[in-house]
Amino acid sequence: MSNRIYEIVEEIATLSGTGRSKRKVRRIRWDNSPDSVLDIRKWFQEVDGTETPCKGIKLDAAEEAALREALRL
């Protein structure tokens, strides 16, 4: 996953974190896609300050809407 290109469109929340590892909710564009997705995943901060994405989940607009409805947000 670390070789993938991504652009952070919006920082929404940091859910948890210890040391250089944090679980974050962000809006991200992956691989130069014109569309952003809701992204919930763990990020590892390298010594140089860059972040490496770890396991997580991406939700497109329809999936995000379904999640919001399920959570009644």
pLDDT in tens, the chain (73 residues): 457 899 999 999 999 999 999 999 999 999 999 999 999 999 999 999 999 999 999 999 999 999 999 999 6
Predicted local confidence at residue 3, as pLDDT: 75
Specify the pLDDT at position 2.
57
One-letter amino acid identity for 44?
F
- pTM recorded for the entire structure: 0.85
> In degrees rounded to 5, what are phi and psi of residue 40?
-125, 110
pLDDT, residue 1, reads: 47
Lateral strand order in the sheet of 6-18: 6-18, 21-30, 37-45, 51-59
What's the CATH fold of domain 6-71? Transcriptional Co-activator pc4; Chain A (2.30.31)
**Residue 38 and residue 29: Cα distance in Å, rounded?**
9
